[in-house]
Amino acid sequence: MADNLLHVVFTGGGTGGHLFPALAVANQLAARVSRVRITFAGSGKEFERRHVADAQFDYFALRCRPVPGRIREALAFLADNLAGYRASSRFLQQHRVHAVVGTGGYASAPMARAAVARKVPLVLLEQNVVPGKATRWLARSATLVCAAFESNGRVWRRNCPLRVTGTPIRDGFARRPARNSEKRLVILGGSAGARSLNESVPRALYKVGRRIDGWQILHQTGRLGLDATRNLYRKLGLTATVEAFISDMPGTLAASELAVSRSGGTTLAELAAAGVPALLVPYPHAADDHQLKNAERFAAAGGAVTLDPRELNGRLDDHLAAALSGLLDESGKRTRMVSAIRRLARPDAAEDVAAMILDVISGQPHRRGLSTAA
Protein backbone atom coordinates (compact mmCIF):
# COMPACT_ATOMS: atom_id res chain seq x y z
CA MET A 1 0.00 0.00 0.00
CA ALA A 2 2.88 2.37 0.77
CA ASP A 3 4.13 1.98 -2.83
CA ASN A 4 0.99 3.58 -4.28
CA LEU A 5 -0.68 6.89 -3.51
CA LEU A 6 -3.43 6.30 -0.98
CA HIS A 7 -6.27 8.84 -0.99
CA VAL A 8 -8.67 9.22 1.95
CA VAL A 9 -11.40 11.86 2.14
CA PHE A 10 -12.70 13.10 5.50
CA THR A 11 -16.09 14.77 5.34
CA GLY A 12 -18.19 16.66 7.88
CA GLY A 13 -17.07 19.33 10.27
CA GLY A 14 -18.09 22.88 10.91
CA THR A 15 -17.14 22.68 14.59
CA GLY A 16 -14.09 21.51 16.47
CA GLY A 17 -16.06 18.56 17.80
CA HIS A 18 -16.35 17.13 14.29
CA LEU A 19 -13.09 18.43 12.84
CA PHE A 20 -10.48 17.62 15.50
CA PRO A 21 -11.15 13.85 15.65
CA ALA A 22 -10.81 13.73 11.86
CA LEU A 23 -7.53 15.63 11.99
CA ALA A 24 -6.25 13.25 14.68
CA VAL A 25 -6.99 10.22 12.49
CA ALA A 26 -5.61 11.93 9.38
CA ASN A 27 -2.34 12.62 11.16
CA GLN A 28 -2.11 8.95 12.15
CA LEU A 29 -2.67 7.89 8.53
CA ALA A 30 -0.01 10.32 7.34
CA ALA A 31 2.42 8.87 9.89
CA ARG A 32 1.66 5.27 8.91
CA VAL A 33 1.60 5.52 5.10
CA SER A 34 4.55 6.96 3.18
CA ARG A 35 2.52 8.11 0.16
CA VAL A 36 -0.90 9.35 1.19
CA ARG A 37 -3.19 12.14 0.04
CA ILE A 38 -5.75 13.37 2.52
CA THR A 39 -8.62 15.65 1.53
CA PHE A 40 -11.14 17.29 3.85
CA ALA A 41 -14.56 18.01 2.33
CA GLY A 42 -16.80 20.42 4.19
CA SER A 43 -19.06 23.42 4.04
CA GLY A 44 -16.22 25.88 3.47
CA LYS A 45 -16.28 27.55 6.89
CA GLU A 46 -13.18 29.58 7.66
CA PHE A 47 -12.64 27.68 10.93
CA GLU A 48 -12.18 24.32 9.23
CA ARG A 49 -10.30 25.73 6.24
CA ARG A 50 -7.74 27.29 8.60
CA HIS A 51 -7.18 24.19 10.70
CA VAL A 52 -6.97 21.90 7.67
CA ALA A 53 -4.45 24.25 6.03
CA ASP A 54 -2.38 24.31 9.24
CA ALA A 55 -2.28 20.52 9.11
CA GLN A 56 -1.17 20.71 5.44
CA PHE A 57 -4.03 18.64 4.04
CA ASP A 58 -6.18 19.42 0.98
CA TYR A 59 -9.59 21.04 1.32
CA PHE A 60 -12.66 20.73 -0.92
CA ALA A 61 -15.66 22.99 -0.24
CA LEU A 62 -19.10 21.79 -1.24
CA ARG A 63 -22.62 23.16 -1.00
CA CYS A 64 -24.74 21.75 1.80
CA ARG A 65 -27.38 22.83 4.33
CA PRO A 66 -28.86 21.45 7.53
CA VAL A 67 -32.44 20.21 7.58
CA PRO A 68 -34.53 23.41 7.57
CA GLY A 69 -36.85 24.44 10.35
CA ARG A 70 -39.22 26.27 7.98
CA ILE A 71 -40.98 24.98 4.88
CA ARG A 72 -39.98 28.00 2.82
CA GLU A 73 -36.33 26.91 3.16
CA ALA A 74 -36.98 23.41 1.80
CA LEU A 75 -36.20 24.22 -1.84
CA ALA A 76 -32.86 25.82 -0.96
CA PHE A 77 -32.06 22.80 1.22
CA LEU A 78 -32.77 20.38 -1.62
CA ALA A 79 -30.94 22.47 -4.22
CA ASP A 80 -27.78 22.94 -2.15
CA ASN A 81 -27.52 19.36 -0.98
CA LEU A 82 -28.17 18.02 -4.47
CA ALA A 83 -25.43 20.31 -5.78
CA GLY A 84 -23.12 19.10 -3.02
CA TYR A 85 -23.89 15.48 -3.83
CA ARG A 86 -23.19 15.99 -7.54
CA ALA A 87 -19.93 17.83 -6.82
CA SER A 88 -18.90 15.04 -4.45
CA SER A 89 -19.72 12.39 -7.05
CA ARG A 90 -17.61 14.21 -9.66
CA PHE A 91 -14.75 14.52 -7.17
CA LEU A 92 -14.80 10.78 -6.47
CA GLN A 93 -14.91 10.06 -10.19
CA GLN A 94 -12.00 12.37 -11.03
CA HIS A 95 -9.75 11.51 -8.07
CA ARG A 96 -8.94 7.98 -7.05
CA VAL A 97 -10.37 7.80 -3.52
CA HIS A 98 -9.84 4.66 -1.46
CA ALA A 99 -12.14 5.51 1.44
CA VAL A 100 -14.44 8.26 2.72
CA VAL A 101 -14.58 8.95 6.47
CA GLY A 102 -17.69 10.75 7.70
CA THR A 103 -17.31 12.68 10.95
CA GLY A 104 -20.94 13.68 11.46
CA GLY A 105 -23.11 16.72 10.90
CA TYR A 106 -25.07 17.80 7.84
CA ALA A 107 -21.86 18.58 5.95
CA SER A 108 -20.95 14.90 5.92
CA ALA A 109 -24.04 13.79 3.99
CA PRO A 110 -23.28 14.78 0.35
CA MET A 111 -19.83 13.17 0.14
CA ALA A 112 -20.86 10.14 2.20
CA ARG A 113 -23.91 9.53 0.00
CA ALA A 114 -21.75 9.85 -3.11
CA ALA A 115 -19.29 7.32 -1.66
CA VAL A 116 -22.06 4.79 -1.12
CA ALA A 117 -23.39 5.34 -4.65
CA ARG A 118 -19.91 4.85 -6.14
CA LYS A 119 -19.13 1.88 -3.88
CA VAL A 120 -16.25 3.65 -2.14
CA PRO A 121 -15.80 2.25 1.40
CA LEU A 122 -17.46 4.50 3.98
CA VAL A 123 -16.25 4.69 7.59
CA LEU A 124 -18.23 6.79 10.10
CA LEU A 125 -16.98 8.35 13.33
CA GLU A 126 -19.45 9.08 16.12
CA GLN A 127 -18.29 11.07 19.15
CA ASN A 128 -21.48 11.09 21.24
CA VAL A 129 -23.60 8.62 23.22
CA VAL A 130 -26.54 9.41 20.93
CA PRO A 131 -25.41 9.42 17.29
CA GLY A 132 -26.40 12.36 15.11
CA LYS A 133 -29.16 12.10 12.54
CA ALA A 134 -26.76 12.13 9.58
CA THR A 135 -24.65 9.35 11.09
CA ARG A 136 -27.67 7.20 11.98
CA TRP A 137 -29.03 7.61 8.47
CA LEU A 138 -25.71 6.79 6.80
CA ALA A 139 -24.85 3.89 9.13
CA ARG A 140 -27.06 1.42 7.24
CA SER A 141 -24.76 1.80 4.21
CA ALA A 142 -21.42 2.18 6.01
CA THR A 143 -18.60 -0.30 5.82
CA LEU A 144 -17.73 0.41 9.45
CA VAL A 145 -18.90 2.69 12.27
CA CYS A 146 -16.39 3.72 14.94
CA ALA A 147 -18.28 4.86 18.03
CA ALA A 148 -17.02 6.63 21.12
CA PHE A 149 -19.36 4.95 23.58
CA GLU A 150 -21.09 1.67 24.22
CA SER A 151 -24.67 2.49 23.23
CA ASN A 152 -28.00 0.80 23.41
CA GLY A 153 -28.25 -1.10 20.11
CA ARG A 154 -31.58 0.53 19.37
CA VAL A 155 -29.88 3.81 18.44
CA TRP A 156 -28.19 2.10 15.50
CA ARG A 157 -29.84 0.46 12.51
CA ARG A 158 -30.00 -3.30 12.43
CA ASN A 159 -26.82 -5.07 11.29
CA CYS A 160 -24.74 -1.89 11.55
CA PRO A 161 -21.02 -2.89 11.60
CA LEU A 162 -20.02 -1.21 14.87
CA ARG A 163 -16.75 -0.91 16.78
CA VAL A 164 -16.39 1.02 20.05
CA THR A 165 -13.09 2.86 19.71
CA GLY A 166 -13.48 5.99 21.81
CA THR A 167 -13.14 9.44 20.26
CA PRO A 168 -9.89 10.16 18.38
CA ILE A 169 -8.03 13.07 19.96
CA ARG A 170 -5.02 15.15 19.03
CA ASP A 171 -1.54 14.35 20.32
CA GLY A 172 -0.35 15.61 23.67
CA PHE A 173 -3.36 15.25 25.97
CA ALA A 174 -2.06 12.25 27.86
CA ARG A 175 1.33 13.81 28.69
CA ARG A 176 0.90 15.77 31.90
CA PRO A 177 3.69 18.06 33.18
CA ALA A 178 4.31 18.95 36.81
CA ARG A 179 1.69 21.22 38.36
CA ASN A 180 2.31 24.88 38.99
CA SER A 181 1.81 26.15 42.54
CA GLU A 182 -1.21 28.11 41.28
CA LYS A 183 -4.15 25.97 40.20
CA ARG A 184 -5.96 26.56 36.91
CA LEU A 185 -9.69 26.58 36.21
CA VAL A 186 -10.55 26.45 32.50
CA ILE A 187 -13.95 27.37 31.04
CA LEU A 188 -14.83 25.77 27.70
CA GLY A 189 -17.94 26.50 25.68
CA GLY A 190 -16.80 24.61 22.59
CA SER A 191 -14.89 26.02 19.64
CA ALA A 192 -17.54 28.71 19.09
CA GLY A 193 -18.02 29.49 22.77
CA ALA A 194 -21.25 29.40 24.79
CA ARG A 195 -23.12 32.59 25.54
CA SER A 196 -24.71 31.31 28.76
CA LEU A 197 -21.34 30.24 30.17
CA ASN A 198 -19.78 33.54 29.11
CA GLU A 199 -22.45 35.42 31.02
CA SER A 200 -22.88 33.14 34.04
CA VAL A 201 -19.46 31.73 34.92
CA PRO A 202 -17.80 35.10 35.72
CA ARG A 203 -20.74 35.98 37.99
CA ALA A 204 -20.53 32.56 39.65
CA LEU A 205 -16.81 33.00 40.28
CA TYR A 206 -17.50 36.39 41.83
CA LYS A 207 -20.06 34.75 44.14
CA VAL A 208 -17.68 32.01 45.37
CA GLY A 209 -15.59 34.77 46.93
CA ARG A 210 -12.26 33.80 48.50
CA ARG A 211 -12.58 30.21 47.32
CA ILE A 212 -11.18 31.27 43.94
CA ASP A 213 -8.04 32.74 45.54
CA GLY A 214 -4.94 30.90 44.29
CA TRP A 215 -6.63 29.83 41.06
CA GLN A 216 -5.82 31.00 37.54
CA ILE A 217 -8.91 31.50 35.38
CA LEU A 218 -8.71 30.76 31.65
CA HIS A 219 -11.92 31.26 29.68
CA GLN A 220 -12.51 30.34 26.01
CA THR A 221 -15.38 32.49 24.79
CA GLY A 222 -15.69 32.07 21.05
CA ARG A 223 -15.11 35.02 18.72
CA LEU A 224 -18.46 36.72 19.34
CA GLY A 225 -18.25 36.62 23.13
CA LEU A 226 -14.68 37.81 23.62
CA ASP A 227 -15.08 41.52 24.37
CA ALA A 228 -18.23 41.23 26.47
CA THR A 229 -16.73 38.47 28.64
CA ARG A 230 -13.47 40.35 29.15
CA ASN A 231 -15.44 43.41 30.19
CA LEU A 232 -17.57 41.39 32.60
CA TYR A 233 -14.52 39.93 34.38
CA ARG A 234 -13.07 43.43 34.58
CA LYS A 235 -16.31 44.84 35.98
CA LEU A 236 -16.43 42.13 38.64
CA GLY A 237 -12.81 42.74 39.65
CA LEU A 238 -11.68 39.23 38.70
CA THR A 239 -8.34 38.51 37.05
CA ALA A 240 -8.83 36.14 34.13
CA THR A 241 -7.22 35.25 30.84
CA VAL A 242 -10.00 35.43 28.26
CA GLU A 243 -9.41 34.09 24.75
CA ALA A 244 -11.69 33.62 21.76
CA PHE A 245 -10.08 30.25 20.99
CA ILE A 246 -7.44 28.19 22.78
CA SER A 247 -5.12 26.82 20.11
CA ASP A 248 -2.98 24.73 22.47
CA MET A 249 -5.70 22.73 24.14
CA PRO A 250 -3.42 19.79 25.04
CA GLY A 251 -1.04 22.10 26.90
CA THR A 252 -3.91 24.00 28.48
CA LEU A 253 -5.65 20.94 29.88
CA ALA A 254 -2.35 19.41 30.97
CA ALA A 255 -1.90 22.36 33.33
CA SER A 256 -5.53 22.53 34.52
CA GLU A 257 -7.08 21.23 37.75
CA LEU A 258 -10.76 21.73 36.93
CA ALA A 259 -13.00 22.62 33.99
CA VAL A 260 -16.42 24.17 33.52
CA SER A 261 -17.55 22.94 30.14
CA ARG A 262 -20.17 22.00 27.62
CA SER A 263 -20.31 18.24 27.07
CA GLY A 264 -19.69 17.52 23.41
CA GLY A 265 -18.08 14.14 22.86
CA THR A 266 -14.73 15.46 21.66
CA THR A 267 -14.32 17.85 24.58
CA LEU A 268 -15.11 15.06 27.03
CA ALA A 269 -12.59 12.74 25.38
CA GLU A 270 -9.92 15.42 25.72
CA LEU A 271 -10.79 16.08 29.37
CA ALA A 272 -10.61 12.35 30.10
CA ALA A 273 -7.23 11.91 28.42
CA ALA A 274 -5.81 14.88 30.33
CA GLY A 275 -7.40 13.77 33.60
CA VAL A 276 -9.30 17.02 34.23
CA PRO A 277 -12.50 16.69 36.28
CA ALA A 278 -15.34 18.89 35.14
CA LEU A 279 -18.50 20.71 36.03
CA LEU A 280 -20.56 20.02 32.91
CA VAL A 281 -23.36 22.27 31.65
CA PRO A 282 -24.86 20.51 28.60
CA TYR A 283 -26.12 22.65 25.75
CA PRO A 284 -29.90 22.43 26.25
CA HIS A 285 -30.74 22.60 22.54
CA ALA A 286 -28.31 19.91 21.33
CA ALA A 287 -29.82 17.50 18.81
CA ASP A 288 -31.47 14.49 20.49
CA ASP A 289 -30.19 15.85 23.82
CA HIS A 290 -26.85 14.20 23.12
CA GLN A 291 -24.82 16.56 25.33
CA LEU A 292 -26.91 15.67 28.38
CA LYS A 293 -26.54 11.95 27.63
CA ASN A 294 -22.76 12.40 27.32
CA ALA A 295 -22.60 14.32 30.59
CA GLU A 296 -24.67 11.70 32.41
CA ARG A 297 -22.17 9.00 31.41
CA PHE A 298 -19.27 11.00 32.85
CA ALA A 299 -21.18 11.93 36.00
CA ALA A 300 -22.23 8.32 36.59
CA ALA A 301 -18.58 7.27 36.32
CA GLY A 302 -17.61 9.85 38.96
CA GLY A 303 -15.49 12.06 36.72
CA ALA A 304 -17.85 15.02 36.45
CA VAL A 305 -20.70 16.92 38.06
CA THR A 306 -23.60 17.84 35.77
CA LEU A 307 -25.95 20.83 35.86
CA ASP A 308 -28.83 20.61 33.37
CA PRO A 309 -30.02 24.22 32.86
CA ARG A 310 -33.56 23.06 32.09
CA GLU A 311 -33.91 21.40 35.49
CA LEU A 312 -32.74 24.39 37.54
CA ASN A 313 -34.92 26.88 39.36
CA GLY A 314 -33.46 30.36 39.56
CA ARG A 315 -30.31 31.82 38.06
CA LEU A 316 -27.68 29.64 36.43
CA ASP A 317 -24.84 31.60 38.05
CA ASP A 318 -26.23 30.80 41.53
CA HIS A 319 -26.25 27.07 40.77
CA LEU A 320 -22.78 27.28 39.21
CA ALA A 321 -21.47 29.08 42.30
CA ALA A 322 -22.89 26.41 44.61
CA ALA A 323 -21.41 23.55 42.56
CA LEU A 324 -18.04 25.27 42.15
CA SER A 325 -17.78 26.05 45.86
CA GLY A 326 -17.68 22.36 46.71
CA LEU A 327 -15.24 21.50 43.92
CA LEU A 328 -12.84 24.37 44.67
CA ASP A 329 -12.83 23.60 48.40
CA GLU A 330 -12.48 19.83 48.26
CA SER A 331 -9.13 18.81 46.78
CA GLY A 332 -9.79 15.22 47.85
CA LYS A 333 -12.98 15.13 45.81
CA ARG A 334 -11.14 16.52 42.79
CA THR A 335 -8.46 13.86 43.19
CA ARG A 336 -11.08 11.12 43.16
CA MET A 337 -12.69 12.68 40.11
CA VAL A 338 -9.32 12.73 38.31
CA SER A 339 -8.98 8.96 38.78
CA ALA A 340 -12.57 8.40 37.65
CA ILE A 341 -12.38 10.52 34.50
CA ARG A 342 -9.05 8.99 33.48
CA ARG A 343 -10.68 5.56 33.48
CA LEU A 344 -12.91 6.84 30.65
CA ALA A 345 -9.95 7.85 28.47
CA ARG A 346 -9.21 6.10 25.16
CA PRO A 347 -5.89 7.75 24.21
CA ASP A 348 -5.18 5.25 21.42
CA ALA A 349 -8.48 5.85 19.59
CA ALA A 350 -6.92 7.80 16.70
CA GLU A 351 -4.34 5.09 16.11
CA ASP A 352 -6.95 2.34 16.31
CA VAL A 353 -9.34 4.08 13.91
CA ALA A 354 -6.52 4.72 11.42
CA ALA A 355 -5.62 1.02 11.51
CA MET A 356 -9.26 0.08 10.88
CA ILE A 357 -9.51 2.44 7.91
CA LEU A 358 -6.44 0.81 6.38
CA ASP A 359 -7.95 -2.63 7.00
CA VAL A 360 -11.18 -1.55 5.30
CA ILE A 361 -9.23 -0.26 2.29
CA SER A 362 -7.26 -3.48 2.02
CA GLY A 363 -10.47 -5.50 2.16
CA GLN A 364 -9.66 -7.03 5.54
CA PRO A 365 -12.05 -5.47 8.07
CA HIS A 366 -10.64 -5.20 11.56
CA ARG A 367 -12.70 -7.92 13.24
CA ARG A 368 -11.18 -7.92 16.72
CA GLY A 369 -13.82 -6.41 18.97
CA LEU A 370 -16.19 -5.73 16.06
CA SER A 371 -19.86 -5.94 16.96
CA THR A 372 -23.02 -5.65 14.92
CA ALA A 373 -25.96 -3.63 16.20
CA ALA A 374 -28.98 -5.84 16.56
Q: How is domain 6-169+347-373 classified at the architecture level of CATH?
A: 3-Layer(aba) Sandwich (3.40)
**183-342 CATH fold:** Rossmann fold (3.40.50)
Give me the pLDDT at residue 77, please. Answer: 73
- Average pLDDT, stretch 216-223? 94
Give me the pLDDT at residue 13, please. Answer: 74
Least-confidence region, from 18-32, 85-99, 132-146: 132-146
Per-residue pLDDT tens for 14-60?
788 889 999 999 999 999 998 999 999 998 889 899 999 999 999 99
> Interhelix angle for 109-117 vs 74-94, to 10°?
50
Relative to beta strand 36-42, strand 241-243 is: unpaired
Identify the residue with better confidence: 370 or 343: 343
User: What's the rounded Cα separation, in Å, for the pair 336 and 277?
Assistant: 9
Least-confidence region, from 40-54, 100-114, 163-177: 163-177
Give me the pLDDT at residue 65, please. Answer: 77
Instruction: Return the percentage of the chain with pLDDT > 90, whole number.
Output: 67
Give me the pLDDT at residue 368, please. Answer: 41
Per-residue pLDDT tens for 316-353?
999 999 999 999 988 899 999 999 999 999 999 999 99
Relative to beta strand 371-373, strand 160-164 is: antiparallel
Confidence of residue 193 (pLDDT cuts 50, 70, 90): confident
Confidence of residue 365 (pLDDT cuts 50, 70, 90): low
Helical residues (DSSP H) of the chain, grouped into ranges = 16-32, 46-54, 74-94, 109-117, 133-139, 195-207, 226-236, 249-254, 265-274, 290-301, 316-329, 331-342, 349-361
Can you give the three-state secondary structure of 17-42, one letter per residue?
Answer: HHHHHHHHHHHHHHHHCCCEEEEEEE
Identify the residue with better confidence: 190 or 208: 208
Confidence of residue 137 (pLDDT cuts 50, 70, 90): confident
Say if 6-169+347-373 and 183-342 have the same CATH topology. Answer: yes
Give me the pLDDT at residue 323, please. Answer: 96
Give me the pLDDT at residue 51, please. Answer: 93
Give me the pLDDT at residue 287, please. Answer: 79
Confidence of residue 67 (pLDDT cuts 50, 70, 90): confident
Confidence of residue 374 (pLDDT cuts 50, 70, 90): very low
Question: Where are the chain's structural domains?
Answer: 6-169+347-373, 183-342
Give me the pLDDT at residue 244, please. Answer: 93
Strand, coil or helix: 147: strand
Give me the pLDDT at residue 361, please. Answer: 94
